[in-house]
Chain A
Amino acid sequence: METNTTTNRIRIADLNEIDRRGARTVRIHNIEIAVFRLSDGSVHALENRCPHKGGRLSEGMICGSAIHCPLHDWKVDLSTGQVQEPDTGCVTAYPTEIDSESGEVYIVI
């Protein structure tokens, strides 16, 4: 990934601090971000607000590559932040990187 002056790579966690099919949250520049680790090992980060009524996505259930909001079960794609049909909307998705050697997780913002 190219870096330029406006992007920041921030180290947020060690991989083992996030359970598989679990989530942790982190607050960066006053935005609450939810960081998810899927069963395939990948890590995804979304702003922690459901576009429906602001449900905290970090509290939801991860199914495959989507997160189900805990409040009304909206389904959000974890890589794109796109809300799945029949609902509409999207959540900001932040790129993430895992350092395969150290197991450190970075978010690009």
Chain B
Amino acid sequence: MNNIQKLVLIGNGMAGIRTLEHLLKLAPGSYEITVFGAEPHPNYNRIMLSSVLAGGAGLQDIVINDWSWYEDNNIRLYTDDPVTAIDTEKQQVTSRSGVCISYDLLLLATGSKAFILPLPGADKEGVIGFRDIRDCETMMETAKTHKKAAVIGGGLLGLEAARGLLNLGMDVTVIHINGYIMDRQLDEAASLMLRRELEEQGMTFLVNKRTAAITGRRRVEGLKFADGSELEADLIVMAVGIKPDIELALSAGIPVNRGIIVNDYMETNIPGIYAVGECAEHRGITYGLVAPLYEQGGVLAQRLAGMETPGYSGSVTSTRLKVSGVDVFSAGDYKDEPGTRSLRYQDDIGGVYKKIVIKEEKLIGAVLFGDTSDGAMLFSLIKSGESVVGREKELLLGFNPGQPEASGAMMLEQMPDDEIVCGCNGVSKGDIGEAVAAGCRSVGEIKACTKASASCGGCKPLVEGLLQLYAGAEAGETMKEGICSCTTLDREAIIDGIREMGLKSVKEVMNVLGWNEPEGCTKCRPALNYYLGMLWPLDYEDEKESRFTNERYHANIQKDGTYSVVPRIYGGVTSPADLKKIAAVAEKYNVPLVKFTGGQRLDLLGVKKEDLPGIWAELDMPSGYAYGKTLRTVKTCVGNTFCRFGTQDAMGMGIRLEKAFERLNAPSKVKLAVSGCPRNCAEATIKDLGVVAIDGGWGIYVGGNGGIKVRAAELLCTVKTEDEVMEWTGAYLQYYREQANWNERTAHWVERVGVESIKQALANAETRKQLVTRIEETLSTTTDPWHEIIHNEELRKNFVQLPELKPVLE
């Protein structure tokens, strides 16, 4: 067939593939498409690299179109194979591996490269940008062996990298050349508030600093600054800007300036060659954000599909910082230029800053810090260019002093249908209405159907609001997302289903509640197993196949496939005899590493699986459950037994708690601690539940965490006696077991539901008593798994290899 034209896309990134997606919808089958990508992956969401680094998503979560998408659409794909030459005369491209293909239409979407400052030493190992999966992997790998990271550049990307590195456990210093960070997006007031917040999270800032050189031998060891000062660093991330990737275009003689020069239809001046995305320069501007690139892609797709289009005329952009715990938004011209007027609201106590900039009756810019919920609304006003006269204060404050308050729902209703809600993907309010009419009942489904909120996620609150607006009236219920991709049901629906229908096994739940994967996945199976056990403590038989490795083999799996063994040491108190026993076993089995854990116990690391039952038998101690979603440790200080400050028996209290609640299954791991006085040497206020003695009583603190995001526990109550500590702890733990989502630590749960709601629930003595009865019922069924395995041959067989038998001769 001669009329099928050959289209070659160079660059398997966000803008190029977005263009193809559009084109495939507008004119299916009209091109024979080949894609070249320099990276070894299918098309992924580069924006989400920040979340991957920060630990919120895995690399597998960020793929936009997987391999089968290319196949399904008949696209020939070469990955890990950059195009190295374009012959514009012969209309051919050649790749590094030697593939040579001719084209009728050529699309350049090569994106950008991280700009690496040409400093002496910038080529050393350990100096990277933050641009692609490989950079992300380098950071994650480095964090395992090194401590000190420096990020050069205090802009959006730099701060997101810094936050990620912090989460990976590194010490992070951000070096910024100007006096205040994110100066391209924020004004000084907002920037200072941001800096304060990030410093509280643990970042260090060096501002007004110019880096002069990078030191070290083969690998980087530090930085030298222009003012003579120095900083040690094992990893340097350069986030000072991006540089359109135009080398290929340049060598092919395609006109470039900063980027590849294109007109309003994304055409270069060579017939048949187009450019979109960060590599393209339109009316003198190159963009570094997804929304404008997607607009360009839309125009180009229409052009290639032979449709009429008014062309692309440039974009106003908005940005949002994707760092947990800080909300920052800015859009348009937010600086106070002559001829503009602005309104500001600054609350240093609550950490909120808002500013809107108005010029000739129109909103032209906005900066929000601390509360960014109005961002999308303000941004659409900026883009629409309508007059805001008389509404200025309402825009800033959400209400007009002296006027009745406009509700959020009213504002959504008044929004015109063609207004864009998701800037990244160009999805209008009308599109979302249609998706809901077509049956979408959750943000996830709307996302899958329209792509709204699929990129930066900034518009998610608006999408949620619209879902309520459209579906709330029709369906009359709130829509939630399922617990995993095997089901559309959320936790509440599943638990109600199990209760009402009396479902008694994982398989039954999946059958009756219509799972779309017959055997579920590693997310839902353990969740169902837990929920069933929580609801029917006396008759549910735990399904070990649905438990993670650790809980099946009752030891912690380590990266090399060995396991670690942690015997229970109640309250961190042991005896010389027990220590000798542990030492003897460690010697006998050649345990490579013995370590004190953070929870005052001994960890025997590097144990071969087949040795586990033997070690357990010889230790003859109960399992310390260092491996499961259960009660882990109860850490204690010495308390009044020895300490001169102690007011209560911290060790006794801790041991009593640990003996009472050991082996308890929970939605996630649970750690406790008891301190003998408010000096709090057991660090009880960063535990899931911490008990701190006061003169004549105890304070009980809940929802603390010392992990990725440190969170101080909040006071639940103060009580007088040890018995009351036991009662409140039992009630609280059971309430958590019944209310929290699977895999939700108490810190997140407390944050989600608010400590007040928990206090209220537990304030009632009758409720407490019932909760305690239920937890005791659950605890009554537990047994020590080590003991069980030692004495059960059938269970023990899974710890050893099958003997190798002789080949059968035929």
Residues A63 and B810 in contact in the complex (CB < 8 Å), given A10-B805, A12-B802, A25-B801:
no
Residues A64 and B797 in contact in the complex (CB < 8 Å), given A12-B802, A12-B805, A24-B802:
no
Contact among B68, B546, B559 for A61, CB-based, below 8 A? B546
* B residues less than 8 Å from A9 (CB atoms): 807-808, 810
Asked whether, in the complex, the Cβ of B801 is within 8 Å of the Cβ of A64, the reply is no
B120, CB-defined interface residue at 8 Å: no
Asked whether, in the complex, the Cβ of A63 is within 8 Å of the Cβ of B521, the reply is yes
Asked whether, in the complex, the Cβ of A27 is within 8 Å of the Cβ of B801, the reply is yes
Report how many A-B pairs have Cβ atoms within 8 Å.
92
The chain A residue with its CB closest to the CB of B558 is A71
Contact among B66, B521, B546, B561 for A59, CB-based, below 8 A? B561
Residues A106 and B808 in contact in the complex (CB < 8 Å), given A63-B519, A71-B557:
yes
Mark out the residues of chain B between 545 and 560 whose CB falls within 8 Å of any chain A CB in the assembled complex: 545-549, 553, 557, 559-560
B804, CB-defined interface residue at 8 Å: yes
> Within the complex, what minimum Cβ distance (angstroms) separates A1 from chain B?
10
* B residues less than 8 Å from A88 (CB atoms): 67
Contact among A10, A24, A55, A68 for B808, CB-based, below 8 A? A10
User: Which among B59, B66, B68, B549 has the highest number of chain A CB atoms within 10 Å?
Assistant: B549
> Within the complex, what minimum Cβ distance (angstroms) separates A64 from chain B?
4
Asked whether, in the complex, the Cβ of A63 is within 8 Å of the Cβ of B522, the reply is yes
* B residues less than 8 Å from A17 (CB atoms): 797, 802
* A residues less than 8 Å from B806 (CB atoms): 10-11
B792, CB-defined interface residue at 8 Å: no
> Within the complex, what minimum Cβ distance (angstroms) separates A49 from chain B?
9
B42, CB-defined interface residue at 8 Å: yes
The chain A residue with its CB closest to the CB of B68 is A85
* B residues less than 8 Å from A64 (CB atoms): 517-519
* B residues less than 8 Å from A26 (CB atoms): 801-804
Docked pose: A106 CA to B804 CA in angstroms: 11
> Within the complex, what minimum Cβ distance (angstroms) separates B804 from chain A?
6
Asked whether, in the complex, the Cβ of B545 is within 8 Å of the Cβ of A21, the reply is yes
B176, CB-defined interface residue at 8 Å: no
Q: Main SS of chain B's interface residues?
A: loop
Asked whether, in the complex, the Cβ of A85 is within 8 Å of the Cβ of B805, the reply is no
Mark out the residues of chain A between 18 and 54 whose CB falls within 8 Å of any chain B CB in the assembled complex: 19-22, 24-28, 35, 39, 53-54
B60, CB-defined interface residue at 8 Å: yes
> Within the complex, what minimum Cβ distance (angstroms) separates B621 from chain A?
24
* B residues less than 8 Å from A100 (CB atoms): none
B768, CB-defined interface residue at 8 Å: no
> Within the complex, what minimum Cβ distance (angstroms) separates B797 from chain A?
7
The chain A residue with its CB closest to the CB of B609 is A59
Residues A70 and B798 in contact in the complex (CB < 8 Å), given A10-B807, A12-B805:
no
B520, CB-defined interface residue at 8 Å: yes
Docked pose: A39 CA to B525 CA in angstroms: 15
Mark out the residues of chain A between 78 and 92 whose CB falls within 8 Å of any chain B CB in the assembled complex: 85-88
* B residues less than 8 Å from A25 (CB atoms): 801-802
Asked whether, in the complex, the Cβ of B66 is within 8 Å of the Cβ of A86, the reply is yes
Docked pose: A71 CA to B556 CA in angstroms: 11
* B residues less than 8 Å from A72 (CB atoms): 58
B63, CB-defined interface residue at 8 Å: yes
Docked pose: A31 CA to B59 CA in angstroms: 30
* A residues less than 8 Å from B520 (CB atoms): 63
Asked whether, in the complex, the Cβ of A22 is within 8 Å of the Cβ of B522, the reply is no
* B residues less than 8 Å from A70 (CB atoms): 548-549, 557
> Within the complex, what minimum Cβ distance (angstroms) separates B555 from chain A?
11
User: Which among B519, B547, B559, B808 has the highest number of chain A CB atoms within 10 Å?
Assistant: B519
Docked pose: A67 CA to B651 CA in angstroms: 44
Asked whether, in the complex, the Cβ of B559 is within 8 Å of the Cβ of A59, the reply is no
The chain A residue with its CB closest to the CB of B518 is A64
Docked pose: A12 CA to B803 CA in angstroms: 7
Residues A28 and B804 in contact in the complex (CB < 8 Å), given A64-B518, A86-B60:
yes
Docked pose: A41 CA to B67 CA in angstroms: 31
Asked whether, in the complex, the Cβ of A59 is within 8 Å of the Cβ of B807, the reply is no
Asked whether, in the complex, the Cβ of B805 is within 8 Å of the Cβ of A39, the reply is no
Chain A positions near chain B (C-beta within 8 angstroms): 3, 8-13, 17, 19-22, 24-28, 35, 39, 53-56, 59-64, 68, 70-73, 85-88, 106
List 25 interface pairs A-B (beta carbons < 8 Å), by A numbering.
Answer: A9-B810, A10-B806, A10-B807, A20-B545, A24-B798, A25-B801, A25-B802, A26-B802, A26-B803, A27-B804, A55-B561, A56-B561, A59-B549, A59-B609, A61-B525, A61-B545, A61-B547, A62-B519, A63-B519, A63-B522, A63-B525, A71-B559, A72-B58, A73-B522, A86-B42
Chain B positions near chain A (C-beta within 8 angstroms): 42, 58-60, 63, 66-68, 517-522, 525, 545-549, 553, 557, 559-561, 609, 797-798, 801-808, 810
- Excluding A24-B801, A39-B519, A88-B67, 6 further A-B contacts by CB distance (< 8 Å) are A12-B805, A62-B519, A63-B521, A63-B525, A86-B60, A106-B808
